[in-house]
Amino acid sequence: MKSFRLLTIAVLAAVTVPRLAHRGMFVDGVTYASIARNLAEGRGSFWSPSYTATLYPQFHEHPPLGFWLQSLWFRVFGDHLFVERLYAVAVALGTAGLIAAIWRRLHADVDRPTAGSDGPAEAGHVRHDIAERGLDWLPVVLWIAVPVVSWAIVGNLLETTVALFTTGAILAALNASSNTGGGGAATGWTILSGLCIVAAVLTKGPVGFFPLVLPIAFLWLAEGRQAWRAILVQSALQWMTVAACAWLVWTSGTARASLTDYANQQVMAALAGSREVSGSSVTILKTLMQGVVLPMTGVAVLAFIGSGRFVVPAPAVQRRALLFLAVGLSGTLPILASAKQAGHYLVPAVPLYAIAAALVVGPTVAAVVHRSAAKPWRVAINIAITLLILGTVGGSLSAAVGRDRDRLADLDAMASTVPRTQTIGLCPESNDDWGLHAWFQRRFQVSLDAGEGRRRDWFLQTARGPAGCVPAACAAATDPRRQLVLMKCRRAD
């Protein structure tokens, strides 16, 4: 298994590191990093983060926990562009570790055959299950094979932090259910699961609630009245933990006002269709089929080719796969109620889909692993790892991989002239260039003002802004041939 684990690490690095090594980033990620950095430097507070002095001086577009967690990294490492990238990598590795831990939890007892299991068929079945337990890398491969997952990681999107918490909630609930005798361990794991759900909700809103259905889904696998009673108690305690945290938040006027603003500005507006509207009302389902099911099916086909046959999983494994699929769908289908849908909204549920798919193809992959003991297979795996490492290094050094190259070049050219922490004027026609706001705040802690921009001491001329909007008293202070030109304005005393 060591070679396959190394291969998994190489794949994870290949799809993330080259893009993280460059300065360009999706505009939302730049925005979130700016807010986190501002929090670290004392601008804004936990319940009222601040973006810029002119654009969302009080940012309530999302709950605040994700920004606060990232701000801790800025407090430790300072204001550098690598900080949000380190945070993204840490969250991704944490999620991968939790996925592997869930797999091991599901296969924790397979090496303990019960009495009467000495027959050759049952002994062979036990050995087969033990082989599958070693496939803790398989659900991680299926998870990272989904393009939107790596895109969200390198984009510093909040969904990656939500996925960390929701996957942690699933693992904690599984650990609680494995303590069939109840007691302190089961109670502790259940409370931890509820706290992880609360953290997910405080990072990106209602999407974080879906792990609450897992203990209820366990009822499908429960056998006997005692098991049903234990699961119902676990589910009730999980819900009580979430409810208690909700009550504590609601009793704080500051927290209540912050989350009320978020609900009005985002949740209710998205349900009413008054925010950004997707091109289709079933965008999330299309992305699920094309962006999740298709790549996972590709991995399954490779496993079938490698083994030469499809090994049907045991009925109990099939039921577990359906359970994880159902929990994943509970984190996806409610998004259909919103007119605002995007592919990265799937990210928190992808670990569930990956585990479900791994349970289905696990026996087939175990057969592939058995065949890979032959020398030609080992050589092929080592070659693949080497090529992935070389590709990762090459991609990290290649300028073609980065995004926003032209804009970053313009910012570099004016970096020595831009007045830090000030407000600069802007043409109204350029005010909806959200990347412009994000990068000026992230690089220079500068706010852009389109409303009163002509009265500012500095003015930014852009390619989109008409020449007539630039005040006559302003002259270029940076290279006028570039797309972005910083201008210094003379003001009469």
What burial class does residue 55 get, using C-beta atoms within 10 Å of its C-beta: 0-12 exposed, 13-18 middle, 19+ buried? Answer: middle
- Counting DSSP H helices and E strands in the chain, the numbers are 20, 7
489 SS3 class: strand
What is the C-alpha separation between 137 and 58, in angstroms, rounded? Answer: 42
Nearest to 365 by CA among 142, 67, 147, 76: 142
Answer whether 16's CB lies under 8 Å from 154's CB.
yes
Going 300 to 303 to 309 to 311, the CA torsion angle's sign is: negative
Nearest to 341 by CA among 286, 303, 423: 286
What average pLDDT is seen over the chain? Answer: 87
What burial class does residue 274 get, using C-beta atoms within 10 Å of its C-beta: 0-12 exposed, 13-18 middle, 19+ buried? Answer: exposed
Mean pLDDT, rounded, for 396-424: 89
The whole-number pLDDT of residue 12 equals: 94
Confidence of residue 306 (pLDDT cuts 50, 70, 90): confident
Higher pLDDT, 129 or 479: 479
Nearest-5° Cα angle at 152, 322 to 352: 10
- Distance linking the first and last C-alpha atoms of the chain: 75
What is the C-alpha separation between 18 and 393, in angstroms, rounded? Answer: 7
Higher pLDDT, 266 or 431: 431
Helix axes 82-106, 2-20, angle to 10 degrees: 150
Please check the confidence at residue 452 and state whether its pLDDT lies above 50: yes
Nearest to 444 by CA among 15, 37, 28: 37
Mean pLDDT, rounded, for 18-30: 92
Confidence of residue 357 (pLDDT cuts 50, 70, 90): very high
Higher pLDDT, 469 or 220: 469
Higher pLDDT, 177 or 11: 11
Instruction: List the beta bridge partners of residue 486.
Output: 460
How many Cβ atoms sit within 10 Å of the Cβ of residue 412?
11
Contacts of 130 (CB under 8 A, 6+ apart): 107, 110, 111
The whole-number pLDDT of residue 316 equals: 85
What is the C-alpha separation between 214 and 181, in angstroms, rounded? Answer: 19
Please check the confidence at residue 43 and state whether its pLDDT lies above 90: yes
Give how far Cα 202 sits from Cα of 255, 263, 328, 331, 436, Å.
11, 12, 20, 16, 28
Answer whether 103's CB lies under 8 Å from 355's CB.
yes
Q: What is the CA radius of gyration of the chain?
A: 26
What is the C-alpha separation between 107 and 78, in angstroms, rounded? Answer: 42
Mean pLDDT, rounded, for 15-28: 92
What is the C-alpha separation between 136 and 104, in angstroms, rounded? Answer: 6
445 phi/psi in degrees, rounded to 5: 55, 35
The whole-number pLDDT of residue 375 equals: 67
Nearest to 311 by CA among 369, 264, 271, 260: 369
CA 245 to mean position of chain CA atoms: 23
Amino acid letter for position 491? R
The whole-number pLDDT of residue 121 equals: 37
What is the C-alpha separation between 80 and 442, in angstroms, rounded? Answer: 10
The whole-number pLDDT of residue 343 equals: 81
Answer whether 10's CB lies under 8 Å from 389's CB.
yes
Tell me the pLDDT tens digit for each residue of 226-248.
Answer: 667 777 888 889 999 999 999 99
How many Cβ atoms sit within 10 Å of the Cβ of residue 13?
20
Mean pLDDT, rounded, for 479-493: 85
